[in-house]
């Protein structure tokens, strides 16, 4: 897992450690020192810890004028044992929301498992906050078993994910294009057609 880096193709456009509004502003990254671990596996040092012991992330792009953030996640999303949604919400999402971000795209290719908690209060709070501002939360490219677990936990009431949001090749686009594609999907202006 230490070979899996956060996507770096947009670093010429944005870096969270240089963004004064980012919860990761001023963070320094060692090149060869592996400090983050997912169970017995070390993670690449460019991933950001935000309180969870199993889920890490990277803000790849934030546009405060248009109110959106693109965030990549890696690890195991475990609300059952570690309440990962609380750490994500309080330590990453809330600071961005306080700066005007109301639309969140989460890239979930590297989320290996999802373990739900019977308590969905943080998801409900997140959805209510952003919906009041015309915003939304979308999870892209979730693995099938992760998607099934999220569906069983009724997260579709709070977050956009599933077939229309999978197999999206976001790395080949610039951040505003990715945002506009997802915004169009969420708003129903377009629908993905396979074939």
Instruction: Give the tens place of pLDDT for each residue, 67-83.
Output: 999 999 999 999 999 99
116 pLDDT more than 60? yes
Q: What is the mean pLDDT of residues 113-120?
A: 94
Task: Provide the pLDDT for residue 168.
Answer: 94
Task: Provide the pLDDT for residue 92.
Answer: 98
On whether the CB atoms of residues 4 and 52 are closer than 8 A, the answer is: no
94 pLDDT more than 50? yes
Task: Provide the pLDDT for residue 32.
Answer: 67
172 pLDDT more than 50? yes
- pTM score, whole prediction: 0.93
Task: Provide the pLDDT for residue 194.
Answer: 53
Length of the chain: 195
At 192, the pLDDT band (50, 70, 90 cuts) reads low
Q: What is the mean pLDDT of residues 119-143?
A: 97
Task: Provide the pLDDT for residue 31.
Answer: 72
On whether the CB atoms of residues 106 and 71 are closer than 8 A, the answer is: yes
Provide, rounded to the nearest whole percent, the portion of the chain with pLDDT above 70.
92
Task: Provide the pLDDT for residue 27.
Answer: 87
At 187, the pLDDT band (50, 70, 90 cuts) reads very high
| Mean pLDDT, the chain, whole residue set | 92
Q: What is the pLDDT of residues 21-52, one digit of tens each?
A: 999 999 887 776 766 777 767 788 888 999 99
Task: Provide the pLDDT for residue 195.
Answer: 43
Could you list the beta-strand ranges (E) of 153-192. none
Side-chain half-sphere CA neighbours of 172 within 13 A? 3
Task: Provide the pLDDT for residue 57.
Answer: 97
CA distance 110 to 88: 16
Tell me which long-range contacts 24-27 makes (C-beta under 8 A, separation of at least 24). Answer: 24/48, 24/59
User: Helical H runs in 7-90?
Assistant: 84-88
């Amino acid at each position: 897992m230490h070979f899996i880096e956060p996507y770096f193709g947009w670093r010429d456009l944005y870096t969270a450690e240089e963004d004064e509004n980012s919860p990761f502003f001023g963070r320094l990254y060692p090149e060869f020192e592996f400090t983050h671990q997912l169970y017995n596996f070390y993670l690449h040092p460019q991933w950001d810890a935000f309180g969870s012991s199993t889920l890490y992330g990277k803000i790849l792009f934030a546009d405060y004028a248009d109110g959106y953030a693109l965030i990549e996640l890696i690890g195991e999303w475990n609300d059952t044992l570690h309440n990962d949604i609380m750490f994500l919400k309080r330590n990453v999402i809330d600071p961005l929301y306080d700066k005007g971000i109301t639309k969140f795209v989460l890239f979930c290719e590297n989320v290996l498992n999802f373990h739900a908690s019977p308590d969905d209060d943080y998801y409900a709070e997140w959805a209510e906050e952003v919906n009041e501002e015309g915003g939304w939360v979308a999870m892209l490219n979730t693995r099938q078993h992760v998607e099934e677990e999220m569906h069983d936990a009724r997260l579709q009431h709070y977050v956009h994910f599933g077939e229309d949001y999978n197999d999206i090749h976001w790395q080949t686009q610039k951040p505003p294009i990715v945002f506009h594609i997802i915004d169009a999907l969420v708003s129903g202006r377009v629908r993905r057609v396979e074939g």
